[in-house]
Structure 1
């Protein structure tokens, strides 16, 4: 066949295959145009899941009459004019493909009015970019795009649409995500003439939190921390859910780069790295985060639907995100803060089983009751005005401490008020510490908490190159496989940096001569075998720090006070005080919660007091 130029409408329909996947794709492109027009209010009306009608109206700057035909023409845009503009894209849309692509697979009407015009002008198109007939219209300032009968002329595409309910669910989810990116815009959404939601302007922090609560659930805000970190021309703001407030899916992860919702592998990796020490296996963090940087440092022209970006200095962005999130999570400390559980709000964190998404049925059957409370650790607050009745003893009976609290005099402790985790009362079943606080009680998993304390302490020592090593009176010798002996020999330097002296004394024999000083009453052979097995499974190709932290986590787990080992009151109080100063103390090294809290109000409800 001879080479020939394709008809304009066919070109637009091919482009529509990239841009218009489903009705929600149309909504995304049109709402982004509203953003660029400076709108403060956007109204989205949907009929039959968007297949029959999508009408989007804004109060933005509008389009000049003579530019309306150009707006419906391919590769025509007001948002870039040169290559330099493309290098520093600051707008949401810039390709000039959306409107002609949409019009090629629908019946589209465009109405717009600028501030100085006597009236608005309306134009309808069929995607041919010909015979534009401009008509006056009483439309107020702003723009309305009315898209009817999507894919009416491409029946094969229409067959791929899902049910009306499913397609509208995609639209609703999209508008919620876009509403999280622009608090300075009011949104309204209706489906089949029924209002779904209205989101007013959210200019203050309280209003912004109200919008987030309406979209993500109030329980998210109750179980999250606020982030605002800036460095090297990068700024990260937003909210991150606590490690214990996690999900089985990645359905509550919203990340915006210069206001654009994106999915990016580099960003996802940085977030995973930041949570790797505190998140339970198979769980996913929850966050609403905003990264702001120079538009010249990010390429938004990397994906037809603009869902992916490329950073010109990827390592800088990755390290900044990791550091900001890691430090923000590490600074969390236990407080008496009580978090409300709302079972009707986006299947929130389950206090009975923190690694299962909560359902309304679970909540009704749970011991805490439908309107119960659950305590999560959160940023430290001022001590409560309550008198301390006994001082905290030294750590000698449990482990060597480095904190200041244990060295304080009784009167100093009295002046500081009641500790956030209270005072130990009993060791239940030789596993759980029961502590009394000024507002209720706290239950602590002693092994899990001690494991985290040891791990964080050993990480600091390893980073400073000062892991204390203790020679064994009698070296431990045991047999391993040839492959395991090879791995041990290859990792000898790593073991040395972490306080071990481990040598290979034969083809299938290793000898342990020194261990970290923090390790007490540990089954050393089992520990070393576990570490070797981990190295064999994951290999030695990871960064040395990753290997080191993994080994330290295993060491901490083996070295922590074991379940069923009876603790004294002094030992329990020492552990509680150390938890209050330790980074990430709300979860163990495996991401499991280390403590929970019940308020006196909860206890009163259990026993129907005051009813």
Structure 2
């Protein structure tokens, strides 16, 4: 078959396949053109999710009739004033959007330059039609109808109007978030669904477009490193979502969906969120034009950085630094009022009589134990994990089937001020797992294992930053049998593990010899620890930096070294745990992203008992 030159209408349709995938793609290109035209207000109208109608009107600089005719030709643009293709300051420059859209739809362009008359131009699926004067205010209005009407192979792959509208709304939301100085309105099928005025602050615009509760559940990001500037807001770990669609990333004001940036956000929240939860963030990265290539994707939704490691480090460090600065307040307790029940369940027959006669605590009461003699072990102690061995289980009550699940010592300490100690003072322990504390402004429940897991991790991080985690040699080295690939992974990371206090060496083809464990972990089971570390190393991304790998390893070690659920604690130990939580960053979440404490306000308690 001989080579032939494709006709222009077919070339335009091929280009449309790259630029215009769905109505949201066409809408994005038109709104970007309005922004680059210097608009202060942009009004958008959609019909049937954009499949039947897309109209974008702006008050920008407008076009002359000659410019309008040139704008519908391929590779014609006003966004590239010279040949410096690597220094693009606008949202686009390929010059294919208008002719590509016009080749697969009916388009009407109306525009007016200030001080001149308006003009209109019509294009019907690539064929230039009528043109003539038009009445409109200064600016440009573009109307696109019946998208892909004459390209049935493309139209049948469009989703439902509701799904296409959702994609259009997301595109407009991202562009509106990028430019808080521009006002946006979006009407769908005659109903206004988005309206934001011009001149918003960046945090205010982000909150208006995402969640009104974001300001109270987020922290500001503001970091400058060399020529890189990072700003925006990052949601608290407890203010997370089930999908990653609420992550908005911008590079030099351009909305992008870049895997490097998304991976950096995921790394920043690595040990603060459960794996099925995603943070709500809006990050704005500004850097010199020569440090980023924006022409690696036809729709410019992806970018390429000259120094990706520096960009990733800036994002991870910026979010981490902000969360660290928030300290204990980086956690917001979820509301648990809806899960509470009121009223007393019926007790078995004879239970109340038995309790009255014997003096033993009845069901639902706390058994009060006297203070144990001697000074209790404190969390801040240097030995082990800071807790005594588990106490012997208390004998069950002689009542029929009742075994008390709560215990407490005599606790007479006054309730501290919420400003100094927001977690209050310990009043007891429930089910040998949860600490009950009284705060000035409510009732606090703490998961002792999850909380101590975070504290041990932060101690290990501090020790690693100071140089090396102290190791505790085993009296007899322990052999851990694994498969050969697992041993290879551990052997390759032996130096990193040694920096965390775990001394390993190869012991044959399918075993590892443990000579020392981190002193912070106390007398932990080396077998389970080494097996879990081998599994984690298998799951690690090869692109992780040394610091991130050490963090992941430290998190696994901390889980093994923390106080377990089912261990009885004294009141002094409970209070020591609460005080260290208040002074430890990220103490609101365990290493796996689960909450470590919840608070029931006094107002909610009063509602439970009908006092309000």
Normalised by the shorter chain, which TM-score bucket?
A: 0.7 to 0.9
| 1:111 CA drift (Å) | 0.7
Q: Secondary structure at the match of 1:146?
A: strand
CA distance in 2, matches of 1:56, 1:536: 51
Query: Could you say if the C-alpha distance between residues 201 and 520 of structure 1 is closer, same or farther in structure 2, counting changes exceeding 3 Å?
Result: same
Inter-CA distance 5–531: structure 2 relative to 1 (3 Å threshold): closer
Partner of residue 136, structure 2: 139
1:157 aligned onto 2:174 = no
Query: Do the aligned residues in 2 keep the contact of 1:335 with 1:421 (CA within 8 Å)?
Result: no
Counterpart Cα distance in 1 of 2:137 and 2:507: 86
TM-score of the pair, normalised by structure 1? 0.82
**2:281 is equivalent to residue 283 of structure 1:** no
1:353-408 CA distances to partner (integer Å, 9 max, x unpaired)? xxxxxxxxxx9x64499xxxxxxxxxxxxxxxxxxxxxxx9994334279xxxxxx
Structure 2 CA distance for aligned equivalents of residues 216 and 224 of structure 1: 12
Alpha-carbon distance in 2 for matches of 1:515, 1:96: 63
Quick one: which of 247, 257, 260 aligns to 1:263?
257
> In the TM superposition, what are the counterparts of 1:41-52 in structure 2 within 5 Å?
41-52=41-52
In structure 2, relative to structure 1, the CA distance for the partners of 1:560 and 1:92 (3 Å cut) is same
Are positions 1:231 and 2:225 aligned together? yes
Partner in structure 2 of residue 168 of structure 1: 165
Give the C-alpha shift of residue 308 in structure 1.
0.8
**Which secondary structure does the structure 2 equivalent of 1:590 belong to?**
coil
| C-alpha contact 2:112 2:137 (8 A) present in aligned 1 | yes
Q: Is residue 310 from structure 1 mapped to residue 312 from structure 2 by the alignment?
A: no
Partner residue in 1 for 2:465? 463
Q: Is 2:597 the counterpart of 1:592?
A: no
Q: What is the match of residue 112 of structure 1?
A: 111
Is the 2:482–2:531 Cα contact (8 Å) retained in structure 1?
no
**1:22-67, Cα deviation, whole Å (9 max, x unpaired):** 1111111100001001111111111222222211111111112321
User: Rg bigger for which structure?
Assistant: 2
* Structure 1 contact 241–285 (Cα < 8 Å) conserved: yes
CA distance in 2, matches of 1:603, 1:52: 54
Contact 1:236/1:289 (<8 A) preserved: yes
**Shift in Å, 1:109:** 0.9
* Equivalence for 1:357: none
Aligned counterparts of 1:299 and 1:487: Cα–Cα separation in 2: 36
Asked if 1:475 corresponds to 2:473, the answer is no
Residue in structure 1 matched with residue 552 of structure 2 by the alignment: 550
Structure 1: 5+ residue stretches without partners = 340-349, 353-362, 370-392, 403-412
CA displacement at 1:142 relative to structure 2? 0.5
- Counterpart of 1:183? 180
| SS class of match (2:285) | strand
- Measure the CA separation in 2 of the matches of 1:395 and 1:268: 47
2:607 matches 1:605: yes
1:123 aligns with 2:121: yes
- CA distance in 1 between counterparts of 2:307 and 2:171 reads 29
1:97 is matched with which residue?
Answer: 96
TM-superposed deviation, 1:555: 2.2
CA distances 1:434-467 after superposition (whole Å, capped 9, x unpaired): 2222211221111111111111111221233231
Q: Counterpart in 1 of 2:211?
A: 217
Specify the alignment match of 1:372 in structure 2.
Answer: none
- In structure 2, the residue matched to 1:248 is 242
CA distance in 1, matches of 2:427, 2:580: 17
TM-aligned CA distance change 1:538 to 1:320, over 3 Å: closer
Q: Which runs of 5+ in 2 are unaligned?
A: 343-373, 384-414
Contact 2:478–2:526 under 8 Å retained in 1? no
**CA deviation string 1:394-442 (max 9, x = no partner):** 994334279xxxxxxxxxx989963122222212222112222221122
| Closer, same or farther: CA 528–108 of 1 in aligned 2, 3 Å | closer
* Cα distance change on mapping 1:540 and 1:509 into 2, 3 Å: farther
1:2 positional shift = 4.0
> 1:218 Cα deviation (Å)?
2.4
Deviations 1:309-332 (A, max 9, x none): 111222221221121122222333
Within the candidate set 245, 257, 266, 1:272 is matched to 266
Tell me: CA distance 1:495–1:609, structure 2 relative to 1, closer, same or farther (3 Å).
same
SS at match of 1:251: helix
CA distance in 2 between counterparts of 1:552 and 1:195 reads 51
- With over 3 angstroms needed to count, the CA separation of the structure-2 counterparts of 1:522 and 1:224, relative to structure 1, is same
What CA deviation, in whole Å up to 9, does each residue of 1:558-599 have, x standing for no partner? 221222222122211211121122222111111111111121
**C-alpha contact 1:101 1:127 (8 A) present in aligned 2:** no
Give the Cα separation in 1 of the matches to 2:481 and 2:4.
71
What TM-score results when the alignment is normalised by the length of structure 2? 0.82
Note if contact 2:39-2:59 (Cα within 8 Å) is conserved in structure 1: yes
User: Match for residue 406 of structure 1?
Assistant: none
Q: Distance in 2 between matches of 1:595 and 1:89?
A: 49
Instruction: State the partner residue of 1:439.
Output: 441
Equivalent position of 2:290 in the other structure: 296
Deviation at 1:285, TM superposition (A): 2.4
Corresponding residue SS for 1:332: helix
How many residue pairs match? The answer is 549
Distance in 2 of aligned mates of 1:176 and 1:594: 34
Q: Residue 279 of structure 2 aligns to a residue in which SS?
A: coil
Per the alignment, residue 3 of structure 2 pairs with: 3
Contact 1:331–1:584, Cα closer than 8 Å, also in 2 = no
Query: Whole-Å Cα distance in 2 between the matches of residues 262 and 504 of structure 1?
Result: 46
Which residue is 1:326 aligned to?
Answer: 320
Say which SS state the counterpart of residue 452 (structure 2) adopts: helix
Q: What is the match of residue 13 of structure 1?
A: 13
CA contact (8 A) 1:368 1:602 kept: no
Q: In structure 2, how many angstroms separate the alpha carbons of the residues matched to 1:285 and 1:272?
A: 8
CA shift for structure 1 position 241: 1.7
Post-superposition offset of 1:70: 0.6
Q: Match of 1:556, SS?
A: helix
**C-alpha distance in 2, partners of 1:556/1:161?**
49
| 1:21-100 → structure 2 map (5 Å cutoff) | 21-84=21-84, 86-100=85-99
Moved more, 26-35 or 291-300: 291-300
Distance 2:543 2:256 in 1: 30
Does the residue aligned with 1:144 lie in a helix, a strand or coil? strand
| Cα distance in structure 2, aligned partners of 1:545 and 1:521 | 26
